[in-house]
Structure 1
Amino acid sequence: MIITVMLAFAFFIVATLYSAVGFGGGSTYIALLALSGQPAELIPLIALPCNIAVVAVGSYLAVYRRNFDWRTSAPFFVTSVPMAFIGGLISITASVYFFLLGVCLIGAAISLLLRRAPDESESFPQSSRLASIIGGGLGFVSGMVGIGGGIFLAPVLHHLRWASAKTIAALCSFFILINSLSGLAGQALKMGTDAVLMGISVGAPLLMAVTIGGVVGGRFVIEGVAHQRVAQLTGILVLLVGVRTLLAWFIYV
């Protein structure tokens, strides 16, 4: 009971921080679940619904505020959705899973720590082929590990000057949402009914915690709290967890 309460509080903090910078927090949910001793096969089934809950509101607001551009976003989704589903279907050993998780966490931390205000002085000539390649690759990894992938997509799009900051944020929010849904479908089909029910049982209080955290983080965005500082703080925390995960993997192997 005490562990569940502590885990729920940690999930609340993560959801608050990540939603304040436009992400869902899936990579850190997974790390926390791993460190708490949850079986590797259950972790994506718990983390992905939490990811979905946090980014769902952001995705809705993106459409409501007309920041989302369906035309330029579609090429990413055409490949990411099926590849996330395929990635979710793939069975990997616990050793491989935690290695991939550690690498993804460190990559996510670097993207947060190096986050800068985007330069919108000129735009990149958008390529549907490039978007499809990026979407498919990130979708596959996201589905296999159990994350949304937006935390990796955002710095790439900013580097390419793909669109305005608001448009990129909206695209990444939807990218996380649909990849999480698709990856969850693949994971559920792979693991079966018993594992899904167990994931629901363990994940219910955590889902409530991240929903509240997502609302709080959304308030930070509305009230204009400095995103750069929040991103850097989150990046440091994720980096520590990522290194810890890789060390545990090294000892495990």
Structure 2
Amino acid sequence: MDTTTLIIISLLFVVISFLYSSVGFGGGSSYLAILSLFITDFNTIRTHALLCNIAVVSIGCVVAYLKGFLSLKKAIPYVIFSVPAALLGATFKLSERTFFIILGGALVLSAIALFLQVVRPVKPLTDTKKILIRSVPLGTGLGFLSGIVGIGGGIFLSPVLNLLNWEEAKNIAGIASFFILVNSIGGIAGLAISGSIMVAMPFTLWVVAAVIVGGFAGSLISMKLFNALLIKRLTAVLILIVGIKLLTEHF
């Protein structure tokens, strides 16, 4: 990869991580979308999207916890089985065509989910049994999909929790950050187990450093200066375009 392309990708990653971290996401779907425009090896794409996710949401989880937005008690039911599911999904050895079709479909679904988010009065779910019955299957399914395509899954979980109206927006952001972190770690572990992890220096250092800078700034600002819904819908436009492009190219 030439220096100009490397700089362009890094700058895009700074912006993406800044915007995503400001609303509680890692940016995995957009990293995948951007990388798919420049790189054809899907294991390299998955590896770097997951690494960037981990870097961004690690910062986001610490900030959310310190601000009181992240309750581990509420977050853990979603990740009990999502992590092994993400690890299992990441071990799947897919053909290039299959991967890009699944990725394209996942991006389109992500875009739709982001567009569907609305602000409504919250009806917190408090019954422990109901929480487990609903959150464990949801987390497991999203974890498996996340492992296959190489994202943390928060971009799916957050809209679903919003539509189900279970938590305040700031708490959903904290839960989604934790969900992304643990699933991304599970995904990386799965790639390592299957021998599919692909690190390419100095590219890896550039993109990880870029998202750390953007993620740190975005987490500190955390929805104070930006309209979260607007950011999510603008992001939805980007990943919808790339998702459709991938589907039309690989079907």
Gaps of 5+ in 1: none
Matched pairs, number: 246
Change (3 A) 1:132 1:183: same
In the alignment, structure 1 residue 207 sits paired with structure 2 residue 211: no
Find 1:46's aligned residue among 14, 38, 48.
48
48-57 vs 161-170, which deviates more?
Answer: 161-170
Cα deviations by residue, 1:154-182 (Å, 9 ceiling, x for unpaired): 11112222222222211111000000011
In the alignment, structure 1 residue 150 sits paired with structure 2 residue 151: no
Q: TM-score, normalised by structure 2?
A: 0.91
Alpha-carbon distance in structure 1 between the residues aligned to 2:211 and 2:37: 18
Alpha-carbon distance in structure 1 between the residues aligned to 2:82 and 2:201: 25
Where has structure 1 moved over 6 Å in runs of 4 or more? none
Partner of 2:176: 172
Cα deviations by residue, 1:40-65 (Å, 9 ceiling, x for unpaired): 12111111110111111110122212
In the alignment, structure 1 residue 221 sits paired with structure 2 residue 222: yes
What percent identity do the matched residue pairs reach?
Answer: 36
Query: CA-atom RMSD, angstroms?
Result: 1.7
Q: CA deviation at 1:79?
A: 0.6
Change (3 A) 1:37 1:187: same
**Contact kept? 1:24, 1:54, Cα under 8 Å:** yes
Alpha-carbon distance in structure 2 between the residues aligned to 1:220 and 1:145: 29
Q: CA deviation at 1:131?
A: 0.9
**Contact kept? 2:22, 2:223, Cα under 8 Å:** no
In the alignment, structure 1 residue 113 sits paired with structure 2 residue 115: yes
Find 1:187's aligned residue among 181, 184, 191.
191
Alpha-carbon distance in structure 1 between the residues aligned to 2:220 and 2:75: 26
Partner of 2:142: 138
Aligned-partner SS, 1:42: helix
Alpha-carbon distance in structure 2 between the residues aligned to 1:85 and 1:110: 26
Q: TM-score, normalised by structure 1?
A: 0.90
Gaps of 5+ in 2: none
Partner of 2:80: 78
